[in-house]
Chains A and B, each alone.
Chain A
Amino acid sequence: MTLEKPIKGMMTLNKIGSDHQKELVLKALYEVKDPEISSISIVDLGMMESIEVSGNTVKLELVPTFLGCPALDIIRQNTEKAIKAAVPSFEVQVEFIHYIPWTSDRISENGRERLKEFGIAPPPRKLPETGIWEVDCPFCGSPYTTLENLFGPAACRSILYCKSCRNPFEAMKPLFTNI
């Protein structure tokens, strides 16, 4: 299993733990999905910031997508459970950090595909100066879409409509530091 983007501290895990353990932890993290979007892992969503291993303790730093996201506690619990199940001897600590903002470009290429698979359009790769973003329909790929509501059923998503295939769909709301 290879990571598209490196996670800080993964090398330490390499050195201290066995290759086998590293593989197990990584695999476990890929099994932790967004509680509302079962196709995408927290790794592909770009929430993982760092892993620190000392002795038996694994410390993970996660970046919340939106501050008011009610799924954070569930993600914390699921992450702890997943790693504990993979390597029972590990003590797991999960911390949500705020010193780095989550931005849309943290989603991996694989993650973008997994979102589409779920019917959610991935965010634009960067936000134009105008603040107006264009999204392709996750179902038919048409760019002929309109924004119905910037605010959607969850803090991280907006509601759009495809004028080509006439499907409503959701898109990840873009977050960039230049806005």
Chain B
Amino acid sequence: MTKIISPDEAKQNSSFKSALTELLYQLADDDFILAYRGSEWLGLAPHIEEDVAFSSINQDTMGHAAIFYQLLEELGEGDMDVLAHSRPPKERLNAVLLEMVNGTGTYLENPKFDWAYTVVRHYFYTAAKKIKMDSLKNSTYQPLADAAARVSIELFYHMMHWRTWFQQLMLAGGEARTRMEKAIFQVMDEMEGVITLGPKGQEIIKFALIEHDKTLKDRWQAVLSPVFTSVNSIMPESMGMKSGNGRNGEHTADLESALAIMNEVYILDPAANW
């Protein structure tokens, strides 16, 4: 298939545009909600250096969400702020894994967040995102290929960061190892939801917007498997979507409460200029 180089060109082919916007909503919504979950750790991270690092990663991730929402705006989907803030949960296409709470309690009241879960979730997600970005560099939609190349560079440092945490906690033994192993199974129960391209997957693949999700999954396993070996562990083989498929608009109450908190200020005055 020949490359589509501009939004105007994409708009002329309605089935191409429909597959493209579906994929863009997945990418944008994934980063948007996980950047929020990450930001909830501000001031609560295990140490001050991590507070600085994690905030920076969340800021990058929100920047990535913004570029994907911007691509949607260029395709006539509406204002990017509205896309980010005003879509109801059932219209969101993020993977369920990424909306789940960090632990019990809330940011303000008795937060008992789980760092092991956070490390595993962020590491597994970032690895999947990097593989998607690398595949997207050859996307038939050129503006997406350009954006992916840009995002991919920043992910190099995110990967390094989460891999370091993953390896150190896995090798620390004791409670750390036990909690990490529990977190790995929790995350794997939902990981399929991150990798799947959803109900329009066939169309997305047909238009060569990104490679087949089976290919992406194999690559993801190939990246992580040696890391498991390096910490004397074996990567679980099965993954699932235990709490639903976010690509179908299926979500948990965790997404509703997260959006309500995130949008609180925006909804007070949507026209305000920050």
Contacts and interface: CB of A to CB of B under 8 A. Distances in A.
Interface stretch (A7-15, A134-142, A143-151): A143-151
A68 B146 contact: no
A5 interface: no
A176 interface: yes
Given A66-B60, A67-B67, A177 B149 contact: yes
A151 B56 contact: yes
A58 interface: no
Given A67-B66, A67-B67, 9 more contacts: A69-B63, A99-B146, A149-B49, A150-B53, A154-B56, A155-B56, A175-B153, A176-B153, A179-B153
A101 interface: yes
A81 interface: no
B153 A150 contact: no
Interface string A137-179: 0000000000011111111000100000000000001011101
**Secondary structure at chain B's binding surface: helix, strand, loop or mixed?**
helix
Contacts of B60: 66-68, 155
Given A67-B64, A68-B61, A149-B49, A101 B150 contact: yes
Interface string B40-61: 0000000001001111110111
Contacts of A149: 49, 52-53
B161 interface: yes
Nearest to A149: B49
- Size band of the B side of the interface? 20 to 34
14 contacts: A67-B150, A68-B59, A68-B61, A68-B62, A68-B64, A98-B67, A99-B146, A101-B149, A149-B53, A151-B157, A155-B60, A175-B153, A177-B149, A179-B153
A131 interface: yes
Interface of A: 66-70, 98-101, 103, 131, 148-155, 159, 173, 175-177, 179
Contact of B63 (A66, A101, A150, A159): A66
Contacts of A176: 153
Contacts of B56: 151-152, 154-155
A66 B161 CA distance: 17
B147 interface: yes
Interface string B95-126: 00000000000000000000000000000000
Contacts of A103: 153
Interface in B142-190: 142-143, 146-147, 149-151, 153-154, 156-157, 160-161
Interface centre among B49, B62, B150, B156 (most CB of A within 10 A): B150
Nearest to B55: A151
B157 A70 contact: no
Given A66-B154, A67-B154, A150 B67 contact: no
